[in-house]
Structure 1
């Protein structure tokens, strides 16, 4: 997936000057959050390209395996969690995290700790039914090289699907929403046009999209033209960017 690859390149941007933060301190914090909140907490180390997953009893409700805590995985991507997510929400998660990274990367170091991501995601539970899950994410930057060192994610089963935006970047100190998602185009485009737009954003050509959706290339072209007209943009790639960034 093009978006995920782009995000990985940003997150795993290794530098010669290493971060000397003590990972054990942050692993202990992740454990405490998991225990106190009944959350699934994931601590991802960008320098080592590893993650540590701490599972509470909520993990069983989502049908996740209950092994050692933490479960250590050799990637920054918590694949077991990601596979549970609704495909639309998984894509939005990647896009929104890329937006979050770019926002913080443009800030001064001392400002970054004030910001986090709050998301509302559909995930399959132990009965293979979608449940609403609250997802929060925090970035921890290195004081040694100013690069992103750790990402800390919390997953909690949500009480309900409120009317709040699905994805927000918030200033936790001021209690302000900095960025809301721009996915209101769902009220403008048809379900098929949304599918086409997602594939355009992932870098697929019209012929590939036609094959994936089992429709003709002429139909794909018509959908792309409709997207341009409805969203009043010059091309489909710009439509994707305007919708997600």
Structure 2
């Protein structure tokens, strides 16, 4: 099963007790972000499995269709934006967001609002060339049922193009970064493990990965186990484990 499907299962977790947060309030906040920061703001409603996309002038630079503002889609995944992200960065984005979800789930409700994701990803622009884009993501939990209700994603064209994509989780209240080495798996997985991880995220089975990399299926299985152990996800999330088996 693909990593995104596992993440969807987590984000769309159902409950009989509905969240009473007023979505119109959060729509207005998303609109404000897009207008004041020149950002593309995506508000995803986990309860309704819908998203609302607010586009500023930055959307033109990235070659995104204008359409209505907001554009409403029947999914928590903004496919028009996702398909512009570099494939390697897209996979890293999904994995990082799953780890962010699990980090917050382990916290008390009152602690969660302090944390957000900040990352730098490559996206194709209107000329079909990759540009650096700053991505920020915030989770809003329901006080009614304790479940994740909204995710707000902000996309800004970055000021610089230095180094490789950077995925971090920060505490905005304390101005602290969650220990980077524990989150940036690029620094703790071998090149071969990263190759295996990429194919796993694309939905390939172990036998297919073995053929693509010209290695034995036992070697693929060993790499998968190493990935789980190095990322320390074997016990923290069964869903992430399932995506590798």
- Could you say which TM-score interval applies, normalised by the shorter chain? 0.7 to 0.9
Point out where structure 2 has 5 or more consecutive residues left out of the alignment: 234-245
TM-score by length of 1: 0.86
Paired residues, number: 229
1:9 is the counterpart of 2:12:
no
Residues 186 and 194 of structure 2 are in contact (CA less than 8 Å); yes or no, is this contact kept in structure 1? Answer: no
Does the 8 Å contact 1:198/1:240 carry over to 2? Answer: no
1:235 alignment partner in structure 2:
222
Aligned pair partner of 2:191 in 189, 192, 200:
189
- Give distance in 2, aligned partners of 1:165 and 1:64: 22
Counterpart position of 1:221: 216
2:120 aligned with 1:120: yes
Question: Partners of 2:135 and 2:55 in 1: how far apart?
Answer: 14
TM-score (norm 2): 0.86
2:156 match: 156
User: Does the 8 Å contact 1:50/1:73 carry over to 2?
Assistant: yes
In the TM superposition, what are the counterparts of 1:86-105 in structure 2 within 5 Å?
86-105=86-105
Greater Cα shift, 166-175 or 177-186: 177-186
Q: Larger deviation: 201-210 or 96-105?
A: 201-210
Shift of 1:164: 8.0
Farther-moved stretch of structure 1 (141-150 vs 164-173): 164-173
How far 1:184 sits from its partner (Å)?
1.6
Whole-Å separation in 2 of the counterparts to 1:220 and 1:189: 14
Q: CA separation in 2, counterparts of 1:164 and 1:170?
A: 18
Higher relative contact order (CA 8 A, sep 6+): 2
Q: Is the 8 A contact 1:200 1:240 kept in 2?
A: no
Q: Name the SS for the 1:31 alignment partner.
A: helix
Structure 1 portions without partners, runs of 5+ = 228-233
Question: 2:14·2:47 contact (CA, 8 Å) conserved in 1?
Answer: yes
SS at match of 1:150: strand
**Superposed CA RMSD:** 2.2
Report the Cα distance in structure 1 between the residues aligned to 2:61 and 2:188, rounded to whole angstroms: 33
Q: 1:1-245 alignment to 2 at 5 Å?
A: 2-163=2-163, 166-180=166-180, 181-185=184-188, 188-189=190-191, 194-200=194-200, 204-210=204-210, 213=212, 219-221=214-216, 225=219, 235-241=222-228, 242-243=230-231
Kept in 1, the 8 Å contact 2:2–2:200? The answer is: no
